[in-house]
């Protein structure tokens, strides 16, 4: 029914979709799996009109078509239930269901609430959600909100008259087990009137629900098979199965580290995200944290950086217990290299020198007055040491390339004397060359005895760089695996713990 034919989508530096051909048949549930960055999200965005493909065609019932925007997509019978929920909490259920198409309920400019309520009731019945349509959405649970979204997507896409196609992007990531079960049962029932594309990291879920699965890797579709013939183990193998380049990650520089504890996390729990996580990181060690999005690794990084308050458990550095304050973390020698480089890592309007000295301004100032000369001197020194390509210490960080910006962030923490660095996706958005430079820097840090907690976009990167890898799933530490040079675990081994 809906076919993507030889679709390619390129972003600067990345080939997000590479000659992808996918078919969705009527009344079918299609599973879509792949690692982070495999191209699933890009694919979904193409189908909802958020992106346009560079080459290739999207065809509906054999007719090529252009999807201009999400609204246009729904008019062609394609609607998406978003991962981050896209209903307005300050409006009622009924209003959310019909937002933007209330015309049917208006008589002489007056909104007919009774009519709206009845129509909403009918839509809610299709998803078996029995709430008052005039309830504010903020009073619903996450699961209920998701049902509202599903109802909305269904009713939007059904207006065309054909079989609607509903895209479910990680629908289970925010749900409780009981809610997931309800959702699954519902999708199973609704199959008779719609097709579904289901994206999930949880393979067992996906296999139990889907009729057919597509496996994506590096922007390509690497396999397509009926779900009945697939096994979780086989999918794991297909999802990864990349050759490792030891050289690329400077593995020759990976030296065994002594067992001096730099940082220890004890029984850390945080809401939904972390559940009794414990581990230690040694001086000079690169400690990798692997897991899918939502496994709790992002939150873990933020906890160590002092940005989140734990519900239970503690983080200790030496004998000191970390308070949930970023400045305390800095005082204990913890540096955080955030994923959102331009938001949390750098003040982009400020110069290289100003950014560099920010965490330890005391060293370049006297009685609260910054001494420009010594600030510049220090900045120049670090620019040389890390080979930061900048017109000078006074250049604005905004104009640096991503790789050089990241170097400024790293230099900043080294100048601050950090002994523990938390690297949250340190190479995100960098090109290959810049990545290699960052890897080199990480090795140097490690050689100087700095403890590094690392999480990244690809497993390959985490495995290549780390001394040990902790695998997280649903907020728990599933396993901690040693990664000595030459004895690195395979990606398949890691993925088995991940999903």
Partner 1 sequence: MNKLTAVPTRQAVRTTTPGIQVVSMHALIRRSSPLLVLLALGVCIGAFNHDFFDPMNLSRIAISAAIPLTIALGGTFVIQLGSIDLSAEGIVAVAAITVSMLVENSYNDNHFGLWVLAVAIAAGAVLGLTNGVLHVFLRIPSFITTLAVGFVASGIGTAWLSGNTIRVSDTALRSIAITRYLGLPLSVWIAVLVLGVAWFIHRHTLLGRHTLAIGGGEDLARLSGVRVSRVRIAVFALAGAFYGVAGILAVAQYGQGHALIANGQLFVAITAIVVGGTSLAGGNGSPMNTLIGTLIVVVLANGMVLLGVPPYVQQGIQGVLIIVAVTLALNRSRRRIVK
Binding site residues, partner 1, CB under 8 A: 69-71, 86-91, 95, 99-103, 106, 109-111, 113, 128-132, 135, 139-144, 147, 176, 178-179, 182, 267, 269, 271-272, 275-276, 312-313
Across the beta sheet with 165-169, the strand order is: 78-81, 165-169, 195-199, 29-33, 212-217, 220-226
Residue 282's beta-bridge partner residues?
Answer: 261
282 HSE (CA, 13 A, CB side): 14
With respect to partner 1, which residue has the nearer C-beta, 144 or 466?
144
Q: Which residues contact 64 (CB under 8 A, 6 or more apart)?
A: 57, 58
With respect to partner 1, which residue has the nearer C-beta, 232 or 479?
479
Start-to-end CA distance of the chain, whole Å, equals 31
Percent helix, strand and coil across the chain, each to the nearest 5: 35, 25, 35
Instruction: Give min distance, CB of 409 to partner 1, in A.
Output: 20
Query: How many helices (H) and strands (E) are present in the chain, helices listed first?
Result: 16, 24
Instruction: Give min distance, CB of 341 to partner 1, in A.
Output: 18
DSSP conformation class of 92: B
**Residue length of the chain:** 499
Instruction: Give min distance, CB of 264 to partner 1, in A.
Output: 16
Q: Are 267 and 313 in contact (CB under 8 A)?
A: yes
With respect to partner 1, which residue has the nearer C-beta, 131 or 225?
131
Tokens encoding 24: 């969705």
With respect to partner 1, which residue has the nearer C-beta, 209 or 230?
209
Instruction: Give min distance, CB of 143 to partner 1, in A.
Output: 4
Instruction: Give min distance, CB of 85 to partner 1, in A.
Output: 10
Q: Are 296 and 474 in contact (CB under 8 A)?
A: yes
Instruction: Give min distance, CB of 89 to partner 1, in A.
Output: 7
With respect to partner 1, which residue has the nearer C-beta, 312 or 484?
312
Instruction: Give min distance, CB of 389 to partner 1, in A.
Output: 31
With respect to partner 1, which residue has the nearer C-beta, 135 or 160?
135
Q: Which of 55, 88, 60 is nearest to 73 (CA)?
A: 60
Distance CA 477, CA 83 (A): 24
């Amino acid at each position: 029914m809906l076919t993507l034919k030889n679709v390619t989508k390129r972003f600067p530096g990345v080939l997000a979709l590479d000659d992808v051909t996918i078919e969705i048949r009527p009344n079918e549930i299609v599973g879509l799996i792949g690692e982070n960055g495999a191209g699933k999200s890009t694919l979904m965005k193409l189908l909802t009109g958020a992106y346009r493909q560079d080459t290739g065609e999207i065809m509906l019932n054999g007719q090529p078509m252009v999807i201009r925007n999400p609204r246009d997509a729904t008019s062609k019978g394609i609607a998406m239930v978003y991962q981050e929920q896209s209903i307005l909490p300050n409006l009622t259920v009924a209003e959310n269901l019909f937002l933007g198409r209330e015309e049917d309920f208006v008589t002489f400019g007056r909104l007919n609430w009774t009519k709206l309520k009845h129509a909403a009731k009918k839509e809610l019945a299709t998803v078996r959600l029995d709430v008052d349509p005039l309830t504010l959405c903020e009073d619903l649970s996450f699961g209920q909100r998701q049902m509202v979204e599903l109802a909305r997507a269904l009713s939007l896409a059904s207006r065309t008259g054909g079989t609607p196609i509903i895209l479910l992007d990680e629908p289970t990531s925010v749900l409780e087990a009981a809610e997931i079960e309800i959702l699954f049962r519902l999708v199973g029932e609704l199959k008779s009137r719609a097709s579904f594309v289901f994206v999930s990291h949880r393979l067992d879920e996906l296999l139990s629900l889907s009729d057919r699965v597509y496996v994506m890797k590096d922007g390509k579709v690497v396999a397509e098979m009926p779900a009945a013939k697939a096994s979780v183990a086989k999918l794991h193998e297909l999802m990864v199965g990349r050759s490792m380049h030891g050289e690329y990650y400077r593995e020759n520089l990976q030296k065994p580290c002594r067992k001096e504890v730099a940082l220890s996390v004890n029984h850390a729990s945080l809401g939904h995200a972390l559940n009794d996580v414990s581990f230690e990181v040694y001086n000079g060690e690169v400690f990798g944290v692997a897991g899918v999005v939502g496994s709790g690794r992002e939150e873990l990084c933020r906890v160590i950086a002092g940005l989140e308050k734990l519900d239970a458990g503690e983080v200790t550095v030496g004998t000191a217990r970390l308070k949930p304050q970023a400045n305390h973390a800095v005082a204990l020698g913890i540096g955080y290299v955030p994923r959102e480089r331009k938001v949390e890592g750098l003040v982009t309007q400020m110069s290289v020198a100003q950014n560099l000295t920010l965490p330890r301004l005391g060293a370049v100032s006297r009685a609260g007055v910054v001494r420009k000369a010594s600030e510049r001197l220090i900045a120049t020194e670090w620019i040389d040491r890390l080979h930061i390509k900048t017109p000078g210490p006074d250049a604005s960080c905004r104009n640096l390339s991503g790789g050089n910006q990241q170097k400024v962030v790293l230099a900043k923490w080294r100048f601050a004397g950090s002994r523990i660095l938390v690297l949250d996706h340190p190479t995100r958005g960098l090109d290959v060359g810049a990545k290699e430079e960052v890897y080199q820097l990480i090795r140097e840090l490690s050689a100087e005895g700095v403890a590094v907690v690392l999480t990244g976009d690809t497993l390959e990167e985490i495995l290549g760089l780390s001394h040990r890898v902790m695998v997280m799933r649903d907020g728990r530490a599933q396993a901690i695996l040693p990664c000595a040079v030459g004895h690195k675990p395979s990606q398949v081994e890691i993925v088995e713990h991940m999903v």
